[in-house]
Amino acid sequence: MNAQRPRKDEEDPASGAGPAGGTPAAPFDPRALLAEARLGVLATIKADGRPQLSPVMPFYDRDTDTLHVSMTEGRAKTANLRRDPRASLEVTGPDGREWATAEGTAELVGPGTDPHGAEVDALVEYYRRAAGEHPDWDEYRATMVTDRRVLMTMKVDHVYGARLG
């Protein structure tokens, strides 16, 4: 049996080395990928037990090891989480060669009815940490109430992933 050697530009997964003859590849950190990702797929559990997969724009806070997602009241993912708060989020690197999955139990805040209430304040803080300052906070706050936005916060209980070599 003849084992194939990696091409010069490929990683050797058996050795953990980088490109053949090059420096070793940095160890894969799934939390780093979670922090970089701006798109992901949220998995919640339908009433019949099957998964509900929803594209989302997550924000991962490394300091608290929590994921945050803004969602709308009345959507399937929101209803599923109100019934069963278990969830998973999968993100993929830009070239599709690395992925990370975070699992945990979600908590939902909102929707708020007061643009200056605690529920909307939580969405403002989420936006600030994820995207920076908004050009018109009054407009943002009003939109969060009108759109019946809800903030999902999920403490990460388990994370795993891989970089494909």
* pTM for this model (two decimals): 0.81
- Asked whether the beta carbons of 92 and 99 are under 8 A apart, the reply is yes
What is the per-residue pLDDT for 15?
A: 38
Question: How is 40-80 classified by DSSP, letter by letter?
Answer: EEEEEE-TTS-EEEEEE--EEETTTTEEEEEEETTSHHHHH
Go through the domains of the chain in sequence order and give each one's CATH number.
Answer: 28-163 (2.30.110.10)
Please give the structure tokens belonging to residue 152: 């999902």
Mean pLDDT, rounded, for 3-22: 43
pLDDT at 5 over 50: no
Residues paired with residue 152 on neighbouring β-strands, in sequence order: 69, 108
Mean pLDDT, rounded, for 55-64: 96
For 147-163, what is each residue's pLDDT tens digit? 999 999 999 999 999 99
pLDDT at 33 over 90: yes
pLDDT at 14 over 70: no
Please provide the average confidence, as pLDDT, over all residues in the chain. 89
